Amino acid sequence: MSILAFVEIAEGAIKKTSQEAVGYAAEVARMRNTTATAVVLGEIASAELENLGRIGAAKVLQAADSRLNEGNIQAYANVLAQAVEKENAEVVVLAKSSLGDAVAARLAAKIKASLASNAVELPDTSNGFIVKRSIYTGKAFAYTEMNSDKKIIAIKKNVYTPAETENKASVEAFSPTLQEADFNVKIKETVKATGDILLPEADIVVSGGRGLKGPENWGIIEELAGALGAATACSKPVSDLDWRPHHEHVGQTGIKISPNLYIAVGISGAIQHLAGVNSSRVIVAINKDADAPFFKAADYGIVGDAFDVVPRLTKAVKELK
C-alpha cells in the first residue's frame, strides 16, 4: 500500500504546486508507515522524474503515451484510477488547480473516494483522518473527517514546503489501458496568458488599481515586478476599463492567488478583491489614503503617493540585488 501523488507538468517541467503535493504525500506516507509514489502522465525527461526523490517520492510511475500530453481530464482520471488499483493506494494527493479540481472530482467518483479540497495542513490521524480545509475564500476553516477506504486530498498552494534530500526516485514505465472513449473530447487549442511569470504559479505578485490613474502609468508596476521577478495583476475596475487584460484581474470574480508576497498599489481593498488575494502569505498595501480598507488586511502598509513610493521601492530592490 502506498500514497499516490498526481504530478502536473508544463512545458517539460514539473509544476511547483505538484512538487508541494509530492512532498505532502511523502509526509502522509511517513505517518502511515508506507512510501509515496508519484504518477506522471505524458512525456518528460527522466532526470526530472528521478529528482522527485529529493522531495520524498520513493517511486515514479510514468505513463508516457503522447496522447496524455494534453491534459485530457477524462483520460487522466481513468489512468489515475488504474494507478490507485496497481499500487493499492489509500490516499491520493494533488495540487488544487483548474486541472486538479476536475481530475479529483472524476477520480473520486471512479474509485468511490472521499474528497477534501483546499487542504491547508497535514491530516490529523490521532483519532481518525481529519483534514483542515480553507473555506469561504479563506475567511474560515473546516475540519473534514474522511471515513472512506480511499481518500483524495487537494492541497492549497504554498501550504507545504517539502524537505529536500539527495535521494533519487526509481522510475517505472506505466502502461494503463486507454480507451478511445477517454479521448472523445479533444483539446484543439490552448491559448496561454502572456507574461514571463503566470499568476497562478507566481510566488510574488505586484498589482495595481485605479490609483495609477491610467494605463500609461503601468510602467512603474512592471518595473517593480521585473526587479522582484514577480507577476503583474490588477483590480477588477482596472480590467473593466481595459487598462489591463482580463487575465490579470485578481479577486472574487477573477483569479484567486496564493503567492508568498502580494503588493497592492493604489487599490482600495474592496471585499471582492480581498477575497481573491487573502491567502497570500504576506500582503503589502501602498496607498495615499490612510483610511483605505486594504490597510486592515495588510501585513505591512505604506501611506504615500504610488508615483513616489513605487520607484523608490524599485530602486531599493535593484540596489539590494
What's the burial of 191, exposed, middle or buried (CB within 10 Å: 0-12/13-18/19+)?
exposed
CA 173 – CA 190 distance, rounded (Å): 28
C-alpha cell at 319: 540596489
Q: Which domains does the chain have, with CATH numbers?
A: 2-183 (3.40.50.620), 199-320 (3.40.50.1220)
- Confidence (pTM): 0.82
Residue 238 pairs in a beta bridge with: none
Report d(CA 190, CA 192) in Å as an integer: 6
**Amino acid code (one letter) for 45:** A
3-state secondary structure of 70: helix
* Whole-number Å distance between alpha carbons of 136 and 127: 26
Q: Is 231 helix (H, G, I), strand (E, B) or coil?
A: strand
DSSP string, 160-172: --PPP-S---EEE
Alpha-carbon span 57 to 40, nearest angstrom = 12
Provide the pLDDT for residue 307.
Answer: 97
Q: Which of 194, 206, 204 is nearest to 233 (CA)?
A: 206
Spatial CB neighbours of 30, under 8 Å, sequence gap ≥ 6: none
pLDDT reported for residue 192: 59
Give me the pLDDT at residue 143, please: 97
Nearest Cα to 62, choosing from 81, 82, 43? Answer: 43
223-229 contacts: CB < 8 A, separation 24 or more? 223/311, 223/314, 224/263, 224/265, 224/310, 224/313, 224/314, 224/317, 227/314, 227/317, 227/318, 227/321, 228/204, 228/261, 228/317, 229/197, 229/204
CA–CA separation, 63 and 44 (whole Å): 10
Alpha carbon 11 to chain centroid distance? 16
CA distances from 84 to 101, 155, 190 (A): 18, 18, 29
Each residue's pLDDT expressed in tens, for the chain with a length of 321 residues: 789 999 999 878 899 899 999 999 999 999 999 999 999 999 998 888 999 999 999 999 999 988 888 888 999 999 999 999 999 999 999 999 989 999 999 999 999 999 999 999 999 999 999 999 998 877 789 999 999 999 999 999 888 989 899 999 999 999 999 888 877 777 776 665 555 677 877 899 999 999 999 999 999 999 999 999 999 999 999 999 999 999 899 998 888 888 999 999 999 999 999 989 988 999 999 999 999 999 999 999 999 999 999 999 999 999 997
Element (H, E) at 118: strand 114-119
